[in-house]
Amino acid sequence: MNTLIAISGLGVFCLIAEIFNLRKLLVPVAALGLLAILGLTISEFETPASFYNNMIVVNKFSVAFSSLFIILTIFLVALSGDFYKDHPTKISDFISIKIFLLAGSVAMVSFGNLSMFFLGIEVLSISLYILAASRRLDIKSNEAGMKYFLMGSFASGIILFGICLVYGATGYFDMAEIHDLSQGLGMPVWFPIGVALIVIGMLFKIAAAPFHFWAPDVYEGSPSMTTATMSTLAKVVAMATLYKLLNDLMPTLSPKVEILIVIISILSMTVGNIMALRQKNVKRMLAFSGISHAGFMVMALLSLSTAATTLLYYTAAYALAGIASFAVIIFITKDKDNEDISNFNGLGKTNPLLAAILTASLLSMAGIPIFSGFFAKFMLFANTIKAGHLIVVIAAVINSIISVGYYFKLILAMYTKEATSEKPAVPFVYTAVAVLAILLNIVIGIWPSLVTNLLS
Amino acid sequence: MDVTTILILLLVGAIATYFSGDKLASKVALVFSLGAFGLSLSLLSTYCNGGNISFIANWIDIPKVALAFKADGLAMAMVLLTTALTPLIIFSSFGNSFNNSKNFYALVMFMSFAMTGTFLAADGLLYYVFWELALIPIYFIALIWGNGDAEKRKKAVLKFFIYTLGGSLFMLIAFAYLYSKADSFLLEDLYKLDLTASEQCWVFFAFFLAYAIKIPIIPFHTWQAKVYQKAPTVGTMLLSGIMLKMGLYSVIRWQLPIAPDAAKTYMPVLIGLSIAGVIYGSIVALRQKDLKKLLAYSSLAHVGLIAAGCYTLTLDGLSGAVLQMIAHGFVIVGLFFAAEIIFRRYETRKIDEMGGIRTQTPKFTSMFMILVLASVALPGTFNFVGEFTVLYSLSQVNVWFAILGGTTIILGAYYMLKMFQNSMLGETNAKVFAEVTSNEAITFVVIIAFLLFFGLYPKPIVDLITPSLNEILSNINS
């Protein structure tokens, strides 16, 4: 609860900072503020509590995921300073929107009541709509914002409909009460329908097939900074929320539901990977790669009892690799009119460090050992096999092999092609964020217990 | 002191090489790799005196993964092979100059680290991590410092990467499955598992896919020749000298004892496939015009015979296979080095464009000749010991296997000697061929001395590996 109040306070502070003309200091102050909030959040780890009639429930799960979100936001805020330096008058807006987005995210993993959940998802989504369309003179950004807004509000509507049906079936918005009721027999048929509608809405938010059609266009059209936010923070938040919802509303999955999850998982992985193979635009490629990762994450739901740990680890690995790669991608494509792979030609020679970081983060996404992406995939596979779903694992492995094809396209471009243009010096913040993110990724790859012991 | 010190030394060596700068990199790498060799020798003596040099510690709690390094005679033999070949390979490259040599040598050292880890690991997941780690450096070595047309090279190397990664991911599924049964990745616990026949079959073939691609066994060999040809010679040496042995070693260490019944059931098929590789490799080698490609196919043939030896599940087969792994590791490094020496002077790998080198360089010719003879298993060389033990074990299983496998020697003698004749003898080539430098000569002398010494006196190595092979066999047959 303190976390949520502190984050909202920081957001408001960032807005006010503009009046007092503190723009230059804003990025460091916001980052430091977030660091302090991170400390505050972690201090709540051992003390579960609930606030305001169970509106907010703080427990290990919520604290662990909130901390991850805060870390990701720190990186994103740090990058914003340079990214928006051409729009100095707007920087406080952009940063406060990102912080409000974080507030929504924290609400989404610590809600104890469906109305709070809906508030969280709306705060998150509206922030993203604004960020997607934030380059208002760019027609592509406008398109992205519009598309995302239409599709997103449609999904929100579906979620709301689902919540209504659940309310109608149980008479409660409170998760604990619904959880108790759902254990008993004789639930009316619109209860599962309601849950299904909520899940569909969330699958839309994480861009899992077949609810993924908005993702590539929106990712490509949005400013790179927003794409980074969507593909790391927003995706991770939605996945954690989906798990929390399913775990409370439907703790034992019936075989039919499991088959549905299997289908969505395999479909997402395959569609994402095969489409990614054909992309020339890096942001589009990462959008499709994100769709396939969504398939992997959905797979974790098949072993619901261990899914919290697996998901925490997987999302941390995926998001940290995503931040590291986007730090490089944002820098490389900053002054370019497109984000084609050819922009990365010869990066291995002109800037070995950034090339190495991008390579490392792509290897992590492909699941090569020492990077945490490997262990994330492994844990997922092991738990899924234990739950008796060998078929999904085999499909996932085949997809991992396919994914090497497009991740390596970028690596090959960096190391075997000749550079077309000289690159200006890298601002310190890009290097710092990329190095920190990939180091964190490697650290939890070498000592997975740091993360996996948190929730068990 | 335990075996982790070797790993730490190699890893520190890789980092030190990277930070030593382009000029010093090769020397720093050589010093560290020699240090690792010395260290493994001293650990070997501790081991032979009954000391414990294994290491085990907890790594990950959930799932339960241990940092377990088991050093028995077999593992130590392979570690010694790695740590002995690494300095040799690094030293042999002193005549070349590489762009960005600090990166290059750091990758070589890192690869040596990963391969040593693979040989030592006694925990499934740890082993898998090292196994995959070894793939990254060789990918970049072949991609960035390779030769020939860049587009073709990219294709060949990517194919290699996807093939091997794909194979190993199936092995990962097998490990995940075994973990769900045993709740542990430790080698001993996996040995103890009681799997049903069909489970064993699936696990066996998941492993087989990974190893058959790495070794390579027909029909999974298609990546090999092109990568050998395109990679820089150092990369080819690492691949053929050590990395292939990772696959063969893993067959003995992991595949056979974990799924012994499947191995027994499919023995004729497995030996058949391996021997098909022998014959296919030899016949294709006959037609090669490119020296490196010829050596690649000869390697395919020899390795097929080693694999056949492993799958006989007899002590002779296994120990012959291990001996031949070591012998082949040295001889193939020597042969690729000879090819590299010719390339340094003539800038060609086409056998037609060579010829008449003998009259200009008697020393080089005689050293090359010895290596060629060793590779065709002439009695007195180490390769003879290994190859004939394997052939003997094959004849115990079925005499036809031995006869077909024996073609490797007959055909091998034919294509190797023909190659030697066309490249070294014949019309005097107009181009000048400088005699080997002292650096180059040292590499050859070390390799030849090793092959001849253990060819005449293989007992130390046999004594080293036999107890561990017996232990593995008792696990297979229990």
The domain segmentation of chain B, as residue ranges, is 1-257, 266-478
Any idea what the Cα angle at residue A341 is, between residues A340 and A347, rounded to 5°? Answer: 125
Provide the pLDDT for residue A365: 93
Position with higher pLDDT, A81 vs B391: B391
Helix axes B101-120, B4-19, angle to 10 degrees: 170
Average pLDDT for chain A: 90
Among B59, B60, B127, B135, the strongest candidate for a mutation testing the A interface, having the largest count of A CBs within 10 A, is: B60
Beta bridge partners of B330: none
Nearest chain A alpha carbon to B132:
A369
Binary contact (B169, A401; C-beta < 8 A): yes
Binary contact (A449, B176; C-beta < 8 A): no
Q: Which of residues 338-397 of B touch A (CB under 8 A)?
A: none
Binary contact (A401, B165; C-beta < 8 A): yes
Q: Single out the residue of A350, A339, A253 nearest to residue A301, CA to CA.
A: A253
Binary contact (A369, B177; C-beta < 8 A): no
Regions of chain B short of the pLDDT cut 50: none
Within 8 A of A456 by CB-CB distance, chain B residues are 62
Size of interface A-B (CB pairs under 8 A): 80
pLDDT per residue as tens digits for the range A388-405:
888 999 999 999 999 988
According to DSSP, the β-strands at A49-51 and A56-58 are: antiparallel
The contacts found for A8-13 with CB under 8 angstroms, 24 or more apart, are A8/A100, A8/A103, A10/A34, A10/A37, A10/A99, A11/A96, A11/A99, A11/A100, A11/A103, A12/A96
Structure tokens at B44: 């070997």
Residue tagged 């659940």 (tokens): A166
- pLDDT surpasses 90 at A17: no
Q: Which of residues 64-83 of A touch B (CB under 8 A)?
A: none
Alpha helices in A250-335 (DSSP H): 255-277, 282-299, 307-332
> How confident is residue A423, by pLDDT bands cut at 50, 70 and 90?
low
Binary contact (A369, B161; C-beta < 8 A): no
For B177, residues 6+ apart whose C-beta sits below 8 A from its C-beta are A385, A390, B199, B202, B203, B206
Query: By the CB < 8 Å criterion, does B125 face chain A?
Result: yes
Within 8 A of B63 by CB-CB distance, chain A residues are 379, 382
- Smallest Cα distance from B243 to chain A, Å: 17
Q: Which of residues 173-212 of B touch A (CB under 8 A)?
A: 173, 176-177, 179-180
Nearest chain B alpha carbon to A417:
B150
Binary contact (A385, B176; C-beta < 8 A): yes
Percentage of the residues of chain A whose pLDDT score is greater than 90: 58
Q: Which helix (DSSP H) or strand (DSSP E) does residue B68 occupy?
A: strand B65-69
Nearest by CB to residue B162, choosing from A393, A404, A449, is: A404
CA–CA dist A410, A415 (Å, integer): 9
Query: By the CB < 8 Å criterion, does B67 face chain A?
Result: no
Nearest chain A alpha carbon to B167:
A401
pLDDT per residue as tens digits for the range B65-114:
889 898 888 999 999 999 999 999 999 888 788 888 888 999 999 999 99
Binary contact (B180, A382; C-beta < 8 A): yes
Q: Which of residues 284-343 of A touch B (CB under 8 A)?
A: 309
Binary contact (A382, B62; C-beta < 8 A): no
φ, ψ of residue B34 in degrees (nearest 5): -65, -40
Q: Where are the domains of chain A?
A: 1-251, 255-456
Binary contact (B136, A363; C-beta < 8 A): yes
Within 8 A of B180 by CB-CB distance, chain A residues are 382, 385-386
- Smallest Cα distance from B6 to chain A, Å: 19
Query: By the CB < 8 Å criterion, does A405 face chain B?
Result: yes
pLDDT per residue as tens digits for the range A144-193:
999 999 999 999 999 999 999 999 998 889 998 888 888 877 788 888 89
Q: Which of residues 204-223 of A touch B (CB under 8 A)?
A: none
pLDDT per residue as tens digits for the range A301-352:
998 888 899 999 999 999 999 999 999 999 988 878 788 888 888 888 888 8
CA–CA dist B275, B255 (Å, integer): 19
Among A408, A417, A443, A456, the strongest candidate for a mutation testing the B interface, having the largest count of B CBs within 10 A, is: A408
Provide the pLDDT for residue A304: 85
Q: Mean of the pLDDT values across residues A368-373?
A: 90
Within 8 A of A368 by CB-CB distance, chain B residues are 132, 135-136, 165
